[in-house]
């Protein structure tokens, strides 16, 4: 069964998700650079080991997001759900940045791409593409 190519909006969502994953990997690189320095600074009570652990955690998440973004770019239906979940989580991060953290600029940076990706995946073309994967191979429709 050949996969139907994803519509342009779904591919846009894939591009934005890949950019988000690259930003996550840049954050991982910054954490690793910080942990490798002799003086780690005075931010909280983080040790070198906990900073490496944080980098590993965010590295695994970023690689998963990257895989999902590439999956959308390659018209893979399985990638839609992980991308939706990541965007909903980023909306929660934006909500926290706007409220308790009092950082509206950071909230904007997290919320705008997340809302755009959600729109791309939930518009008519994105829904029809996703629903085309739900037709049973032995059905008489299509």
Confidence label for 50 from pLDDT (cuts 50, 70 and 90): confident
For 110-124, the pLDDT digits (tens) are 999 999 999 999 999
pLDDT, the chain, mean: 89
Distances (CA, A) of 20 to 70, 130, 131: 12, 22, 26
Contacts with 59 (C-beta within 8 Å, 6 or more apart), sequence order: 25, 28
Tens digit of pLDDT for each residue in 90-116? Answer: 999 999 999 988 899 999 999 999 999
The ranges assigned to domains in the chain are 8-134
With a cut of 60, say whether residue 85 has pLDDT above it: yes
The C-alpha angle with vertex 136 and arms to 135 and 137, in degrees rounded to 5, equals 115
Four-point Cα dihedral 120, 122, 127, 133, nearest 10:
80
């Amino acid at each position: 069964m050949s996969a139907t190519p994803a519509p342009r909006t779904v591919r846009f969502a894939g591009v934005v998700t890949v950019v988000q994953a690259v930003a996550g990997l840049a954050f991982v690189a910054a954490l690793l650079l910080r942990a490798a320095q002799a003086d780690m600074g005075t931010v909280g009570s983080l040790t070198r080991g906990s900073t490496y652990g944080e980098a590993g955690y965010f590295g695994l998440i970023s690689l998963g997001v990257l895989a999902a973004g590439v999956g959308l770019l390659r018209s893979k239906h399985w990638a839609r759900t992980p991308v939706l979940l990541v965007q909903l989580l980023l909306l929660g991060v934006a909500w926290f940045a706007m409220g308790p953290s009092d950082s509206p600029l950071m909230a904007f940076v997290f919320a705008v791409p997340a809302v755009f990706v959600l729109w791309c995946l939930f518009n008519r073309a994105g829904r029809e593409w996703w629903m085309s994967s739900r037709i049973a191979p032995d059905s008489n429709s299509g």
